[in-house]
Each structure stands twice: as structure tokens, then as C-alpha cells.
Chain A
Amino acid sequence: GESVGLHLPTLSVQEGDNSIINCAYSNSASDYFIWYKQESGKGPQFIIDIRSNMDKRQGQRVTVLLNKTVKHLSLQIAATQPGDSAVYFCAENILPGGGYNKLIFGAGTRLAVHP
């Protein structure tokens, strides 16, 4: 069946260190992956996305890596700041047909940044 899962449920890092959050997916039909950040009591916030014809994409302080061979996705956050503390979800975008897309979310990783 379809599934998107994460290796680590929690991640604690020191302020200023780099963070890496990992995600495994099983639906090889998807061509689009998204990372979301969710702060307590708020909706998911788009961070970065990547299409399957790429293996790396960089944003401001964030990089997403995609390894289609092993169906693995990662989010790297450089110089992690206290404001980065949140739950991070990877999501796999699939196209069931009918003109819409459907997001399947992974279980989430809580990132805790310590001063």
C-alpha cells in the first residue's frame, strides 16, 4: 500500500548545528515531494519541494535531497535556530486522476533546538 514514513520521531540539536530529517517513501509513482513545517497549534507551512527529475534542491538554509533508488528523502537545515523548532512532515504528492493531487503525509519528526 501507499506509505510515507520517517526514521526518527524526535531530533534534538544544538543551536547553530545542522539538522537532517529523513523520510522513506514506498509509492514509486509519485513525482513530487514536499516538506512541511508545523508549529504548535498551526497548519502545515510549506518549506521546500522537489520533483522526481531532480536529486537536490536548495532554498534559504534548507536543502532537500531525493534518492529514488532507495526511495529516500531528506531535509537538511543549516545553522539551526530556535525558531526552527517544530514538527516536520514529508509528503508525497500523488495523482489519482480526475485533475486533483493528493498528499500522503509521513508520521512527522519533532525538531527541538537547544541554546
Chain B
Amino acid sequence: DAMVIQNPRYQVTQFGKPVTLSCSQTLNHNVMYWYQQKSSQAPKLLFHYYDKDFNNEADTPDNFQSRRPNTSFCFLDIRSPGLGDAAMYLCATSRGAGEGYTFGSGTRLTVV
């Protein structure tokens, strides 16, 4: 019955080694978002896709990239993870303007 699925739940990566997190949805929502949530902080929007249109937040580092090959899937690529990138990464979907979000359970990333 899961609607927004994130894999894996926990990811350990080495400093500087590229890593990809994945998100899939069964809701057929137009918009998919990636948020970064550091310990004891609020989620912070990194970027989103409206259909195939990519929108980056102004303060999102270039180290973070995203791909959306189809409606159902969206990936977060971290090209060279640093220790400061350790966080929970949350994927969310929405039908569009004025609609609420559905969040996945998140992927907790550890950088060693």
C-alpha cells in the first residue's frame, strides 16, 4: 500500500564517493521533491521536478543533482559526498499547486 517509496532506508557511503538515492511513487503525481533534513532540523528543499521540468533551489550546492526518467521515479545524485552531507533525505510528491505533499520514509545517509 506504500505510495512514496524510498530506497534504501539506510545508506553508508565513503567521503567523495558518488552515491544515488532513489524514490518511486504510485500516486501518478506531477511534482516530485527532494528535501534534506539534518539532525534536529527542519526539512530543507533541494529541488523539485514538475513533470520533466527541473527546478533547483538557489542555495542547493552543485554537488547535488537529480534525474527523473519517468513519472514514477526520481533520483538524487550526490557527486562527491562530504561529511556535512550526512542527513535524512526525504522524497515527496504532490499533484501540483495548492495540493498537499505525500512524503516517503526517507533515506538516512551516513558519510564515512
- On A, residues with C-beta under 8 Å from B are 32, 34, 36, 41-46, 49, 89, 93, 95, 98-103, 105-108
Q: Is the CB of A100 within 8 A of B42?
A: no
Query: Is the CB–CB distance between B104 and A43 below 8 Å?
Result: yes
Given A100-B48, A100-B55, A103-B45, A43 contacting B103 (CB threshold 8 A)? yes
Q: Give A99 to B45 CA distance when docked, in angstroms.
A: 17
Contact A44 B48, CB 8 Å, known A99-B97, A100-B94: no
Contact B97 A44 (CB under 8 A): no
Cβ of A106 to closest chain B Cβ, rounded Å? 6
- B68 located at the interface, meaning its Cβ lies under 8 Å from any Cβ of chain A in the complex: no
Q: Which chain A residue has the least Cβ–Cβ distance from B45?
A: A102
- Beyond A43-B103, A45-B103, is A101–B98 a contact (Cβ under 8 Å)? yes
Would B41 and A44 count as touching, CB distance under 8 A? no
A10 to B48, CA, bound (A): 31
- Determine the distance from Cα of A44 to Cα of B41 in the docked complex, in whole angstroms: 12
Contact of A99 among B42, B44, B50, B106 (CB under 8 A): B50
What are 14 A-to-B residue pairs whose CB atoms are below 8 Å?
Answer: A42-B105, A43-B103, A44-B43, A44-B90, A44-B101, A49-B100, A89-B42, A93-B100, A100-B30, A100-B31, A100-B50, A101-B99, A108-B40, A108-B41
With contacts A95-B98, A100-B96 taken as known, whether A43 is within 8 angstroms of B105 at the C-beta atoms is: yes
Question: Are A46 and B100 in contact, with the CB atoms below 8 A?
Answer: yes
Q: How far is the CA of A100 from the CA of B40 in the complex (A)?
A: 27
Question: Which residues of chain B come closer than 8 Å to A36, judged between CB atoms?
Answer: 103
CB neighbours of B98 from chain A (8 A): 32, 93, 95, 101
Task: From A43, A45, A49, A99, name the one whose CB has the most chain B CB atoms within 10 angstroms.
Answer: A43
Residues of A near B6 (CB, < 8 A) are 43
